[in-house]
Amino acid sequence: MYSLDRQLFEEGDARKRMIEYGKLVERLDIVVLTGRGKNIQQLSGNTMLYPTNSWHKFFRLCDAFRLGKKLVKENGIGLVVAQEPYLTGWVACRLANKFKLKLLVSAYGNNIFDPLWLRERPVHRIYKIIGQKVFRRADAIQTDGDETVKDLKARYGEKVFWKPIIPSNIEDFKIEKEKASSPIKILFVGRLVKQKNLPLLLEVMEKIQNSEIKDKIKFTVIGDGPLKNYMLSEIKARGLADLVDYSPRVSREEMVKIYAEHHILILTSIYEGFAKVFMEAAAAGLPIVTTRVSGVANIVKDGVSGFVAEQGDVEGMVEKLNVLVNDQNKLKEFSKKIKEDFWAKYDFKVMIEIQQKIFNYLSQHNNG
Q: Are 309 and 291 in contact (CB under 8 A)?
A: yes
Q: Are 204 and 317 in contact (CB under 8 A)?
A: yes
CA distances from 239 to 136, 210, 248, 310 (A): 51, 10, 20, 26
CA distances from 121 to 72, 125, 319 (A): 35, 8, 31
Domains and CATH numbers, the chain: 2-168+348-364 (3.40.50.2000), 170-345 (3.40.50.2000)
Give the DSSP H/E element, type plus range, for residue 264: strand 264-267
pLDDT at 182 over 80: no
- Shortest CA distance to 188 belongs to which of 153, 225, 157? 225
The per-residue pLDDT for 273 is 86
pLDDT at 220 over 90: yes
Residue 204 three-state SS = helix
**Residues 263-286: pLDDT tens digits?**
999 999 999 988 899 999 999 999
Alpha helices in 285-327 (DSSP H): 296-299, 314-326
* Cis check: omega of the bond before 122, within 30 degrees of 0: no
Q: Are 91 and 127 in contact (CB under 8 A)?
A: no
Question: What is the Cβ-side half-sphere exposure of residue 155, based on CA atoms within 13 angstroms?
Answer: 18
* pLDDT-wise least confident of 30-34, 324-328, 362-366: 362-366
Q: Are 1 and 80 in contact (CB under 8 A)?
A: yes
* 142 band by pLDDT with thresholds 50, 70 and 90: very high
What is the pLDDT averaged over residues 5-26? 94
Q: Are 345 and 295 in contact (CB under 8 A)?
A: no
* pLDDT-wise least confident of 11-15, 337-341, 354-358: 11-15
* 179 band by pLDDT with thresholds 50, 70 and 90: low
